[in-house]
A and B are shown apart, each in its own frame.
Chain A
Amino acid sequence: MSHTDIPWYRTPKSSLLTRRLALAAAILLIWYAALAMAQNASQSTSSTTPSSIRATHLLGFEGAPSNASGTLSIQGDSLQFQKNGTPAVQVKIASVQDIFVGEQSRQVGGTAMTLGKAAAPFGGGRVVSLFAHKNYDTLSLEYVDANGALHGSIFELDKGQAEAFRNELAAKGAHVSNSDQQAKQSNAEVRNENK
């Protein structure tokens, strides 16, 4: 009768213990990852150094192309937008007549994602659409040029950044009015998106 030695870690009790340890380690890993992600998210939303932020220019800022990503910054007494690799365009902060902060939601992924969703069988694209949206802040400015002509421009910022940037502009001399009304408007937009 042959007898083979079973290593200690192959015994039923040890195997169960190993599995439990692995499970505990996995849970810990996930927990740490979630914690780290939450910290990153809170840092990105609560960062209060808005003098230079990433923004997408949607329309209206004189000399800047529409739907261009770049950096929106305050340089001395001017508000400046610079698209990557192109000369900056700027307006005097004192010429800003009003600033509005809003909130919007949009689908992410662009044309490629849209085509992919359309091609997905059994309505899978619609399920993806349900989750593939992102909330962002809008910063809308009204300013006048040297001839007194009114201009309006809209920027898209990461969520939570527009308010701080508006406050900084106001501190630098930009005119801000209708704060209650704009808060109401932005809330209305968000409510509608959440419906």
Chain B
Amino acid sequence: MKTSKGISLFGFAAVIMMMGIAAKCSTTTDNSSGAQWSVQVDKVDPGDVDLAASFQIAIYENLVDELGKTKRFKQVFRDGDRNASAVSDLLILKTAVQKYAPGSETRRAVTTFSGATKLTVRSQLVTRDGQVILERTVDGNVRFMGGNLRATHNLARNVAKGITQSSLQVPSQSVPAQSGQRSAASTKLVRSQSGAS
């Protein structure tokens, strides 16, 4: 009796382990195409929006941080990094602010229904030659708890989440050879909208 219990427990543990290994393998397969890219995060473009400098900086820094966490890219470069010029499979993340409502933490705490800080950006992943690989409109809001700058963290997390969930083209298909010729596959444009907040 005891032996059969032990065998069944061992079998159960083995099944769990196999499921874990299988899940890990499938994750690795999913990310394998994206892992061949590196990404450079460009400085945030405020456009016509009157966005505080601290918000621009916070968005930029949070994007660098969150993209690094995704493990989707071989390397994450900052704007102006000279090391990025030597990388062949490089995507550039461009972020343009579309809407911004500054909000107020005090008003949120007092009323609980007003004073939300809202940010909407258009984020694009483009190749060196300007081809758009991925384009999304992403929100980052703070509605109840937290300071105004928390919106930038939420926004960056949503941008990273959107990139993780999307399928990127394989670099060899989309990046032209050094001669500068554009391949047929590189004309494919993935365009989607995200309302994540």
| Chain A residues engaging chain B, CB cutoff 8 angstroms | 58-60, 98, 100, 102, 104-107, 114, 117, 126, 129-130, 133, 138, 140-142, 144, 147-154, 178, 182, 184-186, 188-189, 192-193, 195
- In Å, the complex CA distance between A148 and B43 comes to 13
Interface residues on chain B, size class: 20 to 34
Q: Are A142 and B57 in contact (CB under 8 A)?
A: yes
Q: Are A184 and B145 in contact (CB under 8 A)?
A: no
> Per-residue CB proximity of B49-85 to A under 8 Å, as 1/0?
0111110111011100000000000000111111100
Check A59 against B61 for contact (C-beta < 8 Å).
yes
B110 within 8 Å of A (CB atoms): yes
- The one of A153, A178, A184, A186 that contacts B57, using a Cβ cutoff of 8 Å: A153
A106 and B57 contact, CB distance less than 8 A: no
| Contact of A102 with B54 in the complex, beta carbons under 8 Å | yes
Tell me whether B106 and A129 are in contact (CB under 8 A). yes
A-B contact count (CB 8 A): 100
Closest to B109 in A: A129
**Cross-interface CB contact of A188 among B52, B61, B112, cutoff 8 Å:** B52
Interface residues of B (CB under 8 A from A): 43, 50-54, 56-58, 60-62, 77-83, 102-107, 109-112, 145, 147-149
Cβ-defined contact, A107 with B50, below 8 A: no
A43 to B111, alpha carbons, bound, how many Å?
35
**If the complex has contacts A102-B54, A182-B53, are A59 and B62 also in contact, measured as CB distance less than 8 A?**
yes
Known contacts: A59-B61, A106-B147, A192-B103. The answer to whether A138 contacts B83 by CB under 8 A is: no
**Closest approach, in angstroms, between the C-beta of A141 and any C-beta of chain B?**
8
Expressed in whole angstroms, the Cα–Cα distance for A126 and B103 within the complex equals 17
> Which 9 residue pairs across A and B have the least CB separation, nearest first?
A152-B57, A100-B53, A129-B109, A149-B78, A149-B81, A150-B79, A60-B61, A192-B102, A140-B54
Whole-angstrom distance between the alpha carbons of A138 and B43 in the complex?
20
Complex A-B: 29 CB contacts under 8 Å: A60-B57, A102-B52, A104-B54, A104-B149, A107-B105, A107-B106, A126-B110, A129-B109, A130-B110, A140-B54, A140-B57, A141-B57, A147-B81, A149-B79, A149-B80, A150-B79, A150-B80, A151-B61, A154-B149, A182-B53, A185-B50, A185-B51, A185-B53, A188-B52, A192-B102, A192-B103, A193-B104, A193-B106, A195-B104
Q: Which residue of the partner chain B has the closest CB to A123? A: B110
A188 to B49, CA, bound (A): 12
- Using CB atoms, name the residue of chain B closest to A141: B57
The CA of A189 and the CA of B82, in the complex, are separated in Å by 35
Known: A154-B58, A188-B50. A117 touches B82 (CB 8 A): no
B104 & A105 in contact (Cβ 8 Å cutoff) = yes
B83 engages A147 (CB within 8 Å): yes
Bound CA–CA A99/B106 (angstroms): 27
Q: Which one of A144, A178, A184, A192 has the greatest number of beta carbons of chain B within 10 Å?
A: A192
With contacts A144-B80, A149-B80, A186-B52 known, is A130 near B57, CB below 8 A?
no
Q: Is the CB of A192 within 8 A of B149?
A: no
A58 touches B106 (CB 8 A): no
Q: Which residues of B contact A184 (CB under 8 A)?
A: 50
